[in-house]
Structure 1
Amino acid sequence: MADGKHPHLVEKTEKREELLRGNFLHVVRDHVRLPDGGEATREFVLHPGAVMVVPLLDDGRVVLEKQYRHPVGRVMIEFPAGKIDPGEDHLACAKRELLEETGYSAREWACAGELHPVISYATEFIGIWFARGLTPGERRLDHGEFLDVFTATPQELSEWCRTGEVTDAKTLVAALWLQNVLSGAWKLDWRS
């Protein structure tokens, strides 16, 4: 992707090699021309993107999940999230993931922004969505997906972030958004 504002920093891809195409990961190596004319290689994961949902209950609590994450070997506290399917609208993905993982559907939605969790080795982006006016329902977990759904106050979440109980990057970013939205510092554009 070119950056018109900073052309003196941009690397130009001259060739791409596919290193791995698995069920989940697609890894490539780009041969690039550096801004000073030198050459280098960049290995990274191609990722279709994902969404994360910050579900707000009417009583002020948020809906969270606990899920075992094999690469880090531990159960993580996270907001609901999931990969965007090919051709899927981002809001449709957010609605699908919230329902599948938690059983909740929402009356109103607001897109807060986007984050890039691992810019050094992946193209992944995560759309940040807030949901409110929640109605409980039945979860529809994917085959092989195991997670616990629970609720917490924003203050509890903030404390878990401070103490290191929450280390998931997307959830840390969402906690920052939540804190600023609740304080009135950051506004959201809600829609039905």
Structure 2
Amino acid sequence: MRADDHLCEHALHREELLKGHFLHVVRDNVKLPSGKEATREFVLHPGAVMVIALMDDGSVVLERQYRHPLNTVFVEFPAGKRDAGESSGVCAQRELQEETGYVAREWAYAGRLAPAIAYSDETIDIWFARGLTPGPRSLDEGEALDVLTATAQELAIWSRHGSVFDGKTLVGLLWLQNVQSGQWSLDWRCQPEMPSPFQPPADLP
């Protein structure tokens, strides 16, 4: 018996509820640890990336982008959904160039976050990039966003006062502060490579 068996649910049957252009929603019938059955409705997601791109002066590349569900323009780190069959590293390179125009000389994989664990299986891989060279952007049709730079201190102030409240960007700020302070280290490489195989730290609870 595994240590977490008393917490885990087991899927019995899956029903597709919605298959749209962007969202894929399913309902699973699951067996609870108690032996009873329940349903779980959630969004399937192919995964995404977020890029913390460092300028030579230590500031970072950010975006201002309108998000329709909240009718708000958000300040965010560059990020995007992985295409079918696309690796996380290739997606990170593509999203940075398409949205900001920057190409990076070095990359470092930082970690992974799950932004909506109650209703989606989405995970976002966090990448750092440095040695940036500017170039033209390649925005998708209908995509509109501004590119800006800010220091970690400025981003922290904006977050503290509530003008930055995108979840992945707040996690990115946590990583940025710890990397720049020397508390957390990164393995920089010429190409964005995932640890192989990906293993969470052994000291996690």
Residues 67-119 of structure 1 deviation map (CA, whole Å, 9 limit, x = unaligned)? 00000110000000000011111110000000000000000000000000000
Aligned to 2:30: 32
Residues 157-180 of structure 1 deviation map (CA, whole Å, 9 limit, x = unaligned)? 011111111110000000000000
Aligned to 1:86: 84
**Could you list the runs of 5+ residues in structure 2 that have no partner in the other structure?**
191-205
Distance 1:131-1:33 versus aligned 2 partners, 3 A rule: same
Aligned to 1:50: 48
Measured after TM superposition, the shift of residue 7 of structure 1 is: 1.0
Alpha-carbon RMSD: 1.0
SS in 1 for 2:156: helix
TM-score, length-normalised on structure 2? 0.91
Measured after TM superposition, the shift of residue 8 of structure 1 is: 1.1
Would you say 1:61 and 2:59 are equivalent positions? yes
**Could you list the runs of 5+ residues in structure 1 that have no partner in the other structure?**
none
Runs of 4+ in 1 over 3 A off after TM superposition: none
Would you say 1:14 and 2:16 are equivalent positions? no
Aligned to 1:100: 98
Measured after TM superposition, the shift of residue 4 of structure 1 is: 4.6
Q: Number of aligned pairs? A: 190
TM-score, length-normalised on structure 1? 0.97
Aligned to 2:158: 160
Measured after TM superposition, the shift of residue 5 of structure 1 is: 3.8
SS in 1 for 2:136: coil
Distance 1:127 1:4 in 2: 28
Aligned to 1:171: 169
SS in 1 for 2:17: strand
